[in-house]
Amino acid sequence: MNAHELKQHPAFLALTPTERAAVTARLDAAGGAFEFDDAALALLGGEAAALDADDLRAWLAWPSSAGTTHGVALRPCPEPALSEAVYRSLVDRVPALIDDAIFGEAERQARGFARRVVLAEHERRTAGRLRDAELTVLATLAGELEQAPSTHEAWSAGAVDDALRGAGLGLLAELLLETIDRRTGLRGFFADVGRWATTGARDLGHAVRALSEGLPGHEGRYDSRSGRWTNWSGDYACEPAAYVKPRTEAEIRETVRAAGRLRVVGAGHSFNASPLTDGTLLSLDAYDAVLALDAGRRIARVQAGIRARDLNRALWGAGLALPVLGSTDAQAIGGLLATDLHGTGRTHGFLSTQVRALRVVAADGTAREVRAGDPLFHAVMGGLGVCGVVTEVEVELVPRFHLAKTTAMVDRARSEAEIERLIDENDHLSFYYVGGTADGESVRMHTWNHTSEPLTPGWERQRARAEIEDFAISAFVPAAAELLADIDEDSPLSNLLAPDKRLVMPSSDGFGRKLFYMHDEIEFSVPHAAWRPCVERTRALLAERNIGSIIEVRFTPNHSQAMLRPEDDHGRSAWIELATPQDTDRAALYDAFESLMRAYGGRPHLGKKTRATAADLRALYGARFEAFTAVRRAQDPDGKFLNETTTRLFVEG
């Protein structure tokens, strides 16, 4: 929407003369090459026509340097000539854009789309990445153009791709087409789900939100009206005295120095109270840039607030990748290191293995760079933020790759007996057991393997559909999930409800999945030799209590760089996790599970549920816990970074 169009809008006309003058002055100050971003507003709650006078008043009250509020932005176009080139390239492919007799609406939309393309390309070049929200806006604008009466016959994703490539924006074209492909066809599928879903409405709403790029419902959030921060699942919340989102390291250091009590939060994806504080809650959401990307040396340096999904996208565009990731990509990199993220793999298991350097701010506000061998480097990883605020991370990378993911129901006894062969034959392997069943003849096996095969056509849509189907069975028809575990894996019913699936996906997207149902987690690493009795006793525990829960089993080599690495010291560990529906009474269950895991030498994942104390960790880690404590005290002599949970875990006495 340009200045002339805005001044004809009912929202502008409803302002007082003084307010209209103020809006005009701000528009004039921006110059002529800009857009008033009504498309972003439409994503957050309505079409452009829903713009009202209060939106403009809020925009006026927002600092001009900030640029955005309530999804409404005044954004200068940094390259008007490129915008015109994109528009002309569109017209070359879809001549009907300039033949529209309906007040030139298609032409106006096309010019707006071209301006937005340039803004997105400018962000990609300057920040080294492109936010999902920006791509979603572009996909939305492209969809609106497709619906224009004069263009719908000629307009297509292929035309958009050709036009952007014709203007020299090939990488942006690739990213946009991936986003359009993810969105296509999902609305109708969600409508089908809504027709048969009569229970679990909360989880279904969460699933829909989680698929909305840029507005992920599976992250923590801060409500500025109530002053309340809530973690991703809604299980934990606090009302901090101050909620701060610094944009520079200087601001981070000053915030840390001045705070009495402080905790750092990324995506809020932990399953315990470790992020909570009544002091200062420091969010790294605005500290999320790619600082350097050296494709030749395969090294990236990033700010710690960057989400895994955004880093993955930037790396893919540069021909690079991380060799292993966890089961979801919503978290901030700093948070993943604070909980010592692990995935599953024969040769790669931990994100920390790839870390070359960290920049860490101590409680007094000083910052220093640390590398492997420095005790601080190793104490920060897995330390839940009690040894300092990580601001920058340097990681070692591998060439990007295609990943073939296979999901299948397999015979439980045979797969358990052949576990060594399965681990050796697959790059990555995990199992989903359905706990609470009587027999459990079958188990779901996931494998991920590098491949030179091309990507599966429409893999994004197929993956989303498969995840929704799995969610539907688990959340809406839990008896079906239990039945799948109890019947033969090759039976017609098993093949109907849970057919084998195989998708070839890019390394940037192949590991993660969307979390569509609200659940809780507790996880322990156990010696590899003990994994099978641990699973058997966990299955028996669930059956005795008549509680349904997924038991996830993963395997990693012991290559973590964390000082308190939650693993066995004999080459390979198994990870046993309960992922339990949120409406389950799980406190007593988790206590019993924890006792069971400890009996086998298990070590708790500190980012998830555990009742462990500092005395327990000292017994598990011995001299390493003492070394960790020495680093923690040196970095934070007065306990600024502690809260109730981290005090229980790390402070004795």
Q: What is the DSSP letter of 456?
A: P
Q: Is the pLDDT of residue 189 over 50?
A: no
Residue pair 90/114 in contact by the 8 Å Cβ criterion: yes
Residue 77: Cβ within 10 Å count: 21
- Tens of pLDDT along 635-653? 999 999 999 999 999 999 7
Burial classification of residue 260, based on how many CB atoms lie within 10 Å of its CB (0-12 exposed, 13-18 middle, 19 or more buried): exposed
Using only C-alpha atoms, the chain has a radius of gyration, in whole angstroms, of 26
Which residues neighbour 122 within 8 Å (Cβ) at sequence distance 6 or greater?
A: 78, 79
Average pLDDT over residues 440-469: 87
Which residues neighbour 103 within 8 Å (Cβ) at sequence distance 6 or greater?
A: none
C-alpha–C-alpha distance, residues 161 and 159, integer Å: 5
Q: Which residues pair with 370 in a beta bridge?
A: 358
Tokens matching residue 293: 């990307």
pLDDT reported for residue 469? 66
Give residue 516's pLDDT band: very low, low, confident or very high (50, 70, 90).
low
**Residue 396 exposure: Cα atoms within 13 Å on the Cβ side:** 10
Give the long-range contacts of residues 123-128, CB within 8 A, separation 24 or more.
124/171, 124/172, 124/175, 124/317, 127/289, 127/290, 128/289, 128/290, 128/291, 128/293, 128/314
C-alpha–C-alpha distance, residues 248 and 383, integer Å: 23
pLDDT reported for residue 348? 92
Q: Is the pLDDT of residue 514 over 60?
A: yes
pLDDT reported for residue 55? 62
Residue pair 78/118 in contact by the 8 Å Cβ criterion: yes
Q: In what helix (H) or strand (E) does residue 394 lie, and over which residues does it extend?
A: strand 389-396
SS3 294: strand
Average pLDDT over residues 319-331: 91
pLDDT reported for residue 495? 52
C-alpha–C-alpha distance, residues 8 and 259, integer Å: 48
The ranges assigned to domains in the chain are 3-183, 402-610, 615-650
Above pLDDT 90, what percent of the chain? 49
**Residue 336 exposure: Cα atoms within 13 Å on the Cβ side:** 31
Q: Is the pLDDT of residue 102 over 50?
A: no
Indicate the range of 4-13, 237-246, 558-567, 586-595 predicted with least confidence. Answer: 4-13
Which residues neighbour 505 within 8 Å (Cβ) at sequence distance 6 or greater?
A: 402, 403, 404, 405, 455, 456, 459, 463
Q: Which of the two residues, 314 and 2, has the higher pLDDT score?
A: 314
Q: Dump the DSSP string for 486-520.
A: HS-TTSHHHHHHS--EEEEEETTTSS-----S-EE
pLDDT reported for residue 326? 87
Query: Is the alpha carbon torsion for 621, 627, 628, 629 positive or negative?
Result: positive
Tokens matching residue 302: 């990033």
Which residues neighbour 390 within 8 Å (Cβ) at sequence distance 6 or greater?
A: 304, 334, 337, 338, 358, 359, 360, 380
Which of 340-349, 375-384, 433-442, 559-568 reaches the highest mean pLDDT?
Answer: 375-384
**Residue owning tokens 């190793």:** 378
Give residue 310's pLDDT band: very low, low, confident or very high (50, 70, 90).
very high
Q: What is the DSSP letter of 455?
A: P
C-alpha–C-alpha distance, residues 248 and 305, integer Å: 12
Q: Which residues pair with 550 in a beta bridge?
A: 434, 579
CA distances from 579 to 96, 153, 548 (A): 53, 48, 10
pLDDT reported for residue 44? 33
Q: Helices 132-147 and 38-45: crossing angle, nearest 10°?
A: 90
C-alpha–C-alpha distance, residues 311 and 325, integer Å: 12
Give residue 518's pLDDT band: very low, low, confident or very high (50, 70, 90).
confident
Tokens matching residue 40: 């972003």
Indicate the range of 174-178, 268-272, 273-277 predicted with least confidence. Answer: 174-178
SS3 371: strand
Q: Which of the two residues, 13 and 631, has the higher pLDDT score?
A: 631
Does the domain at 402-610 match CATH 3.40.50.300? Answer given as no
SS3 281: strand
pLDDT reported for residue 582? 82
Q: Is the pLDDT of residue 244 over 90?
A: yes
Q: Is the pLDDT of residue 148 over 70?
A: no
What is the number of residues in the chain? 653
Residue pair 403/448 in contact by the 8 Å Cβ criterion: yes
C-alpha–C-alpha distance, residues 520 and 292, integer Å: 36
The residue type of 462 is Q
Q: Is the pLDDT of residue 502 over 90?
A: yes
Q: Dump the DSSP string for 4-53.
A: HHHHHSHHHHTS-HHHHHHHHHHHHHH-SSEEE-HHHHHHHHS-GGG--H
C-alpha–C-alpha distance, residues 616 and 610, integer Å: 11
pLDDT reported for residue 470? 65
pLDDT reported for residue 50? 52
**Residue 385 exposure: Cα atoms within 13 Å on the Cβ side:** 32
